[in-house]
Structure 1
Amino acid sequence: MKSKGKKKKAIAIILGGGRGTRLYPLTMDRSKPAVPFAGKYRLVDIPISNCLNSGINQIYVLTQFNTASLHNHIVNTYQFDQFSGGFVEILAAEQTYTSESWYQGTADAVRKNLKHFHDQNADYYIILSGDQLYSMDFRDMLARHIETGAELTIAAKPISRSEATGLGIIGADEDGMIKSFYEKPASDMDISAYRVHESFMQKELNKKVDASNEYLASMGIYIFNAKAMEEMLNNDFTDFGKEIIPEVIKTRPVAAYLFDSFWEDIGTIKAFYECNLNLASIAPQFNFYNEEMPIYTHRRHLPATKMNFCNISYSLASEGSIITNAYIVNSIVGVRTIIESGASLDGVYCMGASHYETEEERAENARKGIPNIGIGKGTIIRRAIIDQNVRIGDGCRIGIDDIPRPEGDFEMYSIHDGIIVINKNAVIKSGTVI
């Protein structure tokens, strides 16, 4: 009988990011991938789910900052039976006899963990970001990678010139082989040489090139041949986008894989807020209702949300919440959220709570003048993010009065891009105005 040969194997490596300063204060007590998203998920659930939906069940998450919350989520969520060989494993930055430094960048993080990846004897490494929203079957990208004979394939999204300033721009030939790369070109820079070839666009997406899609932006999603990646990392470069890729394309075959569905980097407070609220719109850009590409998360076994005499529109309500006589519009209500009578939310992402309070705890807090976890009676909130386990008392007014609000970080809250963020576990006493 003729041997079929060894099946090619791919493993995924999710980059968890550093301190997550652009998402502060949501990253005050947790790493960026662990930030709650869409009412019931965590950011890390997006890339992990894409991997699982693509038949990839051996996944590493590289992180070095505030890892406890992320570790608890992954351990309690992604449990595989012993026959599948699957795992989701956190590799936090560590000091060793050969290195005492933390991760210095994306490439440095991967380099310092090569010894762990060797255990899987993989043929391909898929490098992913932990703070992007998209749905992709990586099998299609891997097929493109193998077909072209590339040693590195970069997922590329067609964009307009106005979008190019904040992204890495790819210059590819008519076959989609990358010949040049420029990181974040200035708005007044001439990048016409990077314009995508019409034949490549037609072949891959059956589209014509116009002002909306004339350039290709790197999505920060890479597939490497395993051996080639180790060779590419045999240096002191710390970052893939700024250093590794510009060098690699000079001497090695690098291909572009075109992706033309929704993709968003949600690494800032503004992007995070807008992405979440868009999910509650009539026709959201990202589809959580695709049964063929589900997004997985922790099973909480909570009851359905209870709504009593409410006016709710363009909103999402996660399981386990109790909402009474409230007005809610353009908002997301996270798990276990308690909203009392007369409350009003407009443009609010309320992350909910990690536990319910008992009647005894509520009574004891009342004696101490501490509000219950949730949103109190008659409280009005506009354009805000309410982090987990926040206690907002009765009659508060947050983000609704026409008063100047300086940007910055304060004791119980922050204001970034005009969005008020109430810190995790914050206590906002009754009658407070922010």
Structure 2
Amino acid sequence: MTSKVIAVILGGGAGTRLHPLTATRSKPAVPIAGNYRLVDIPISNCLNSGIDRIFVLTQFNSASLNKHIKNTYHFNVFSSAFVDILAAEQTPHNTTWYQGTADAVRQSMRHLEPFEYEYILILSGDQLYQMDFDDMIRNHQDAGADVTVATIPVNAKDATSFGIMKSDENQNITSFIEKPKSELLKDWPSEVGDEMKAQGRVYQASMGIYIFGKKVLTDILNNDPHTDFGKEIIPDAINTYKVISYQYDGYWTDIGTIPSFFEANLGLTDDIPSFNLFDKRSIYSRARMLPPSKISGTTLEKTIIAEGCIINASRIERSVIGIRTRIGRGTTIICSYIMGSDYYQTLEQLEEAKATGTPIMGIGDRCYINNAILDKNCMIGSDVRINGGPHLPNGDYEKYTVQDGIVVIKKMAVIPNGTVI
């Protein structure tokens, strides 16, 4: 079944709600879980489902994403498998960049023409979940559907942030409303399982995951000038095509904001996390051949530590520590995501920094870091105190941003000794 499928992963827009993490990279290239990039999640879901022909559509800040995919996804030379970048391009027939999710696919369809396939699976590049797409595709075929929309039950609070739909007893989607106001929700509950009902999750929200028949998608994109799947194409298709819901009851979150990104990462430290890194289904990423992490004199509590770290901290609690992180003595880190570094400083550089009293790449001695995200390659001096929380007003500063009490230290920022945030 999956041999008849091509997957297209949408790289997303400018990602302004994830600023400053998206200041120099696209959303799918943002590091997650200390060891991966966000784009690794949909790609791994595809590969684990037997789908190995994958295009990633990019437009904004795509250099680091291109580099990651080029260095990561290599297949047997005798295989037809690939993960390829399709960057937005101007042509003699089209001089505009991607104008939306549907327009991105429309402009890229000519690159799919040489391939044989019956179905196209369209995914977002900035979501955290584990799904068997093979089951979704079989359901699509068995139902004789033209379009399948993956949906997930959400509660009333979350429903106002999603496209909400209703379906009949055969899962045919009959109506759709985009981000309804709370007073309209009384007309939009759907039939869900008892467990979902007990949690108040009775509204079917679109996950931004779609299956189209090849001809159906071609007809829609050729005849419908609209540019966005969720807001325009899917609501219009309900009136013309057989559009069905595929209800997913597992863990899924949209990594669209700093708070959602932060909570998704810290949630990985739970005893049994909702998104389980230790599941039998692998999450694939770049093999870096780093040494194992070295830890000395540190009390660790609910902490994930990636490879290649040198840690002498006093205590680390409910935190994710990314690759090549160096942490000095007497430092405490609580409820934080440290992304790590892209390279190691040499011994000569470390000695020079010590002699001049300048911060090294990583975190210095006797620091206190709470409720924070440290982007890649930060240099945090000794005796630095970063204490996030509701007492801090939102703001964007030269070296850091505060959003909903979360302090985000910008990529490559240098924070001098003794700084208090």
Shared fold by TM > 0.5? yes
**Residue in structure 2 matched with residue 284 of structure 1 by the alignment:** 273
Does the alignment pair 1:414 with 2:389?
A: no
Q: Matched residues in 2 for 1:109 and 1:296: separation?
A: 26
Whether the aligned pair in 2 keeps the contact of 1:381 and 1:399 (CA below 8 Å) is yes
| Shift in Å, 1:210 | 4.9
**Residue in structure 1 matched with residue 410 of structure 2 by the alignment:** 423
Trace 1:36-115 onto structure 2 (pairs within 5 A): 36-115=31-110
Does the alignment pair 1:316 with 2:304?
A: yes
Q: Matched residues in 2 for 1:259 and 1:186: separation?
A: 24
**Residue in structure 2 matched with residue 187 of structure 1 by the alignment:** 182
Trace 1:217-228 onto structure 2 (pairs within 5 A): 217-228=205-216
Alignment partner of 2:67: what SS?
helix
Does the alignment pair 1:239 with 2:228?
A: yes
CA change 1:403–1:214 in 2 (3 A) is closer
Root mean square deviation of aligned Cα: 1.7
**Residue in structure 2 matched with residue 405 of structure 1 by the alignment:** 392
**Residue in structure 1 matched with residue 350 of structure 2 by the alignment:** 362
Whether the aligned pair in 2 keeps the contact of 1:326 and 1:339 (CA below 8 Å) is no
Does the alignment pair 1:149 with 2:137?
A: no
**Residue in structure 2 matched with residue 433 of structure 1 by the alignment:** 420
Q: Matched residues in 2 for 1:389 and 1:298: separation?
A: 18
Does the alignment pair 1:392 with 2:392?
A: no
Q: Matched residues in 2 for 1:164 and 1:358: separation?
A: 51
- Deviation string 1:63-114 (CA, Å, 9 cap, x unpaired) is 1011111011111110011222111111111111111111111001000100
CA change 1:338–1:209 in 2 (3 A) is closer
| Shift in Å, 1:196 | 1.7
Trace 1:293-312 onto structure 2 (pairs within 5 A): 293-312=281-300
| Shift in Å, 1:8 | 5.8
- The amino acid of 2:22's aligned partner reads T
Q: Give TM-score, length-normalised by structure 1.
A: 0.93
Does the alignment pair 1:257 with 2:246?
A: yes
Q: Matched residues in 1 for 2:293 and 2:105: separation?
A: 42
Does the alignment pair 1:165 with 2:157?
A: no
Aligned pair count reads: 420
**Residue in structure 2 matched with residue 269 of structure 1 by the alignment:** 258
Alignment partner of 1:70: what SS?
helix
| Shift in Å, 1:121 | 2.4
CA change 1:431–1:223 in 2 (3 A) is same
Q: Matched residues in 2 for 1:224 and 1:27: separation?
A: 30
Q: Matched residues in 1 for 2:385 and 2:275: separation?
A: 32
Q: Matched residues in 2 for 1:254 and 1:339: separation?
A: 52
Whether the aligned pair in 2 keeps the contact of 1:151 and 1:253 (CA below 8 Å) is yes
| Shift in Å, 1:207 | 6.4
Q: Matched residues in 2 for 1:208 and 1:107: separation?
A: 31
Whether the aligned pair in 1 keeps the contact of 2:3 and 2:51 (CA below 8 Å) is no
- The amino acid of 1:83's aligned partner reads F
| Shift in Å, 1:212 | 2.3
Q: Matched residues in 1 for 2:296 and 2:11: separation?
A: 40
**Residue in structure 2 matched with residue 3 of structure 1 by the alignment:** none
- Deviation string 1:151-180 (CA, Å, 9 cap, x unpaired) is 100111122223211111111001101111
**Residue in structure 1 matched with residue 366 of structure 2 by the alignment:** 378
**Residue in structure 1 matched with residue 169 of structure 2 by the alignment:** 174
Whether the aligned pair in 2 keeps the contact of 1:50 and 1:137 (CA below 8 Å) is yes
Whether the aligned pair in 2 keeps the contact of 1:336 and 1:353 (CA below 8 Å) is yes
- The amino acid of 2:65's aligned partner reads L
Q: Matched residues in 1 for 2:378 and 2:399: separation?
A: 10
Trace 1:107-126 onto structure 2 (pairs within 5 A): 107-126=102-121
Q: Give TM-score, length-normalised by structure 2.
A: 0.96
Unmatched runs of 5 consecutive residues or more in structure 1: 1-5
Q: Matched residues in 1 for 2:2 and 2:125: separation?
A: 28
- Deviation string 1:37-71 (CA, Å, 9 cap, x unpaired) is 00100000000000000000110111101111101
Whether the aligned pair in 2 keeps the contact of 1:8 and 1:123 (CA below 8 Å) is no
Whether the aligned pair in 2 keeps the contact of 1:161 and 1:211 (CA below 8 Å) is no
Q: 2:122 aligns with which of 113, 124, 127?
A: 127
Alignment partner of 1:158: what SS?
strand
| Shift in Å, 1:215 | 1.8
